[in-house]
Amino acid sequence: MVITMLSRVADSLYWMSRNIERAENNARVLSVQLIHMLEAQNQEAADRDWEEIVEVCASAKDYYSLYDRLDRETMIQYLTISPFNVNSLMNCMNFARENARSTRDILPEELWEVLNAFHLDQKDWQELPNTRQHTQDYLDRVIKTSMTSQGVIESSMSRGTPYTFIKVGKWLERAEKTARILNVTCEKNRKEADVPTDHYYYWLTALQFLNGYDAYIKEHPPTMESKHVLSFLIKEGTFPRSIRYCMDHVMEAVNKLEGGKISHYSEDLFQMLELIQDEITSTNIEEMDMNELMSFLDHFQDRCMTLSRMFSQTYYLIEPVHVK
């Protein structure tokens, strides 16, 4: 195993990975939403939930600082190819490519080529008319690019330090996105608790956003109980987008980086990881009401931010670096 690596390189790999994952997740959310729109019976149904989509894929606050109202076409533009949204698919893919470019010397050639091919084609995308079909194709291309990248990483990278940093970025990004989607869904549910709405629809959507519908249905034949869905997406140990699964894998990756040993500089990081794992396993999802669930998810998102910061500090991904 390569023992050491430049901090800047580690940082780039971590962010490359997070941006690829973020782009894929956002593309899937948007793609699911566009399909729901097609199935909607009337205009009102087609226009609903867009604010939640913006909140999941970017930030509603940032959106409103640029635009006055939620206009569907503007939003699609904002989330896909807008240069003004740091989390637009185009920006995420550009960040991923730039990060890959500055670490090309240690990445598999094919990974660079996959990201570069997306970039080269992107110029064409920008010139295509803004039709639904083109948007769907673009989303599909983002998802496939992410999947191919992961395939290259898994099939050709040595399981050394660079690989591990890539994985940590991916799991952290994923866990956060799952929490975010659930949070938004819970919020929606709570708001409409008194209104007789179709709650089934919300949980189904959450599963689709996280590519977990098929897996869930196998575990829980066709019922859409909110407690089951939440429990599945938070605690299911075998589903690769559940919060628990992601955090277990962050732990595994850090363990690997440290060769199974806890040193003085990594002590805080390990403690935080263990604490988070405990908090997940000891929580009884089934007994919580929506408010409690939301505060659990908020708390977890804060933990992710703390963890991300501690991770960066432990490996000097941010200044300063001292002689050891």
For the CB of residue 205, give the shortest distance to another protein in the complex, in Å: 38
69 vs 322, which CB is nearer to another protein? 322
8 Å CB contact between 187 and 294 = yes
Q: How many residues bind another protein (CB under 8 A)?
A: 27
Interacting residue with another protein among 101, 144, 199, 220 (CB under 8 A): 101
Which of 134, 176, 126, 182 minimizes the C-alpha distance to 31?
134
**Phi-psi region for residue 316, left (φ > 0), alpha (ψ -120 to 50) or beta?**
left
Q: Which is nearer to another protein, 45 or 117 (CB)?
A: 117
For position 125 contacting another protein by CB under 8 A, the verdict is: no
- Residue number, 164 or 242, with CB nearest to another protein: 164
Q: Which is nearer to another protein, 100 or 280 (CB)?
A: 100
Tell which positions 128-187 bind another protein, by CB under 8 A: 161
Shortest spacing between CB 144 and another protein, in angstroms? 17
Instruction: Output 195 or 323, the one with its CB closest to another protein.
Output: 323
Q: Which of 7, 59, 255, 301 binds another protein (CB under 8 A)?
A: 7
By CB under 8 A, name the one of 270, 296, 300, 315 that touches another protein. 315
CB atoms within 10 A of CB 224: 19
User: What is the number of alpha carbons within 13 Å of residue 32 lying toward its C-beta?
Assistant: 25
Q: Which is nearer to another protein, 26 or 161 (CB)?
A: 161
Q: How far is the CB of 235 from another protein (least distance, A)?
A: 32
The verdict on 98 binding another protein (CB under 8 A) reads: yes
Under rule CB under 8 A, residue 261 binds another protein: no
Residue type, 286: E
Q: Would you give the binding string for another protein spanning residues 192-231, x where CB under 8 A is met?
A: ----------------------------------------
C-alpha span between 234 and 250 (Å, rounded): 15
Grouping H, G, I as helix, E, B as strand and the rest as coil, residue 157 is coil
Query: Closer CB to another protein, residue 106 or residue 290?
Result: 106
What mask, x for binding another protein by CB under 8 A, covers residues 104 to 123? xxx--x--xx--xx--x---
Task: Choose among 149, 131, 127: nearest CA to 23.
Answer: 149
For residue 291, give every residue at least 6 positions away whose Cβ sits within 8 Å of its Cβ, in sequence order, or none. 190
- C-beta separation of 79 from 23 below 8 A: no
CB pairs under 8 A, 24+ apart, for 310-319? 310/268, 310/269, 310/272, 311/168, 311/172, 311/254, 311/269, 312/11, 314/265, 314/266, 314/268, 314/269, 315/7, 315/10, 315/165, 315/257, 316/7, 317/7, 317/10, 317/11, 317/14, 318/11
Considering only residues 265 through 304, tell me which ones interact with another protein, judged by CB under 8 A. none
What's the closest the beta carbon of residue 120 comes to another protein, in angstroms? 7
> What DSSP element (H or E) covers 80?
helix 72-80
Cβ 101 to another protein, closest distance in Å?
5
The answer to whether residue 5 forms part of the interface with another protein (CB under 8 A) is yes
Residues that bind another protein (CB under 8 A): 3-8, 10, 98, 101-102, 104-106, 109, 112-113, 116-117, 120, 161, 315-317, 321-324
